[in-house]
Amino acid sequence: MDWPNWRRTGFIVLALLALLSLPSFYEHAHWFMMGHVESMVVQGRWDLVLLNIGVFLVFLLPLSFRKKIEWKSMGIYTAFIVSLFIEMYGVPLTVYISSAAAISPGGAPPTQEIIFSFTFLGQSLSMTFWKIVGMIISLIGMIIVILGWITLYKNIKQKELVTNGVYRYSRHPQYLGIILIAVGWFIHWPSLLTLAMLPVLIYFYYKLTIDEEKEVMQSIDNPHLYQKYREKTPRFI
Walking along the chain (237 residues) 10 residues at a time, the average pLDDT comes out as 51 61 77 58 79 87 64 82 83 60 50 78 81 92 92 76 88 92 89 83 88 84 86 87
pLDDT recorded at residue 3: 46
Nearest to 210 by CA among 70, 76, 75: 70
Global confidence as pTM: 0.80
Q: What is the CA radius of gyration of the chain?
A: 20
Cβ atoms of residues 33 and 101 within 8 Å: no
pLDDT recorded at residue 104: 46
pLDDT recorded at residue 65: 58
pLDDT recorded at residue 12: 57
Domain boundaries, the chain: 41-103+126-232
